[in-house]
Amino acid sequence: MDRKELIMKLKQMKLPVIAERYEMQSSDPDYSQLSFDERFGEMIDMEYDSRINHTIEKNIRNAKFYDSTANLESIDYNPERQLNCSQMEELATNRYIDNGLNIIFVGASGCTDNNDI
């Protein structure tokens, strides 16, 4: 089976990232130094990561968050908000899940200042 036919079949089987990585590896001489397992493993890792990321993105879209781009780095720790930065960083580790604990946030969600309440 030639390369083009293999890439076409991978795409038909809905493995586009593997097809893309295979094509890239085939044209890059640096990959010839890697073993089959290393090359195959990289393609599988990339496909797996792509699917996980796609699922996360789809879930975020479906959740219809007020601000789907919000993240921990963009939290405003203005003293009026009375947020504990170290506590938020600890929550970001998700250790509370491993410990079987729940968290509850109390306050007006989505508000950036008192005028929004």
Give the residue among 116, 72, 114, 64 at the shortest CA–CA distance from 93: 72
**Cα 117 to Cα 51: distance, rounded to the nearest angstrom:** 39
**Cα 15 to Cα 8: distance, rounded to the nearest angstrom:** 10
For 82, residues 6+ apart whose C-beta sits below 8 A from its C-beta are none
**Cα 96 to Cα 109: distance, rounded to the nearest angstrom:** 21
Instruction: Give residue 111's identity as a one-letter amino acid code.
Output: C
Q: Model pTM greater than 0.85?
A: no
**Cα 49 to Cα 45: distance, rounded to the nearest angstrom:** 6
**Cα 110 to Cα 22: distance, rounded to the nearest angstrom:** 44
Confidence band, pLDDT 50/70/90 cuts, at residue 111 = low
**Cα 57 to Cα 115: distance, rounded to the nearest angstrom:** 32
53-106 pLDDT, tens digit per residue, is 999 999 988 988 888 788 888 888 888 888 889 999 999 999 999 999 999 888
Burial (CB < 10 A; 0-12, 13-18, 19+), residue 52, is exposed
11-70 pLDDT, tens digit per residue, is 999 999 999 999 999 999 999 899 999 999 999 999 999 999 999 999 988 988 888 788
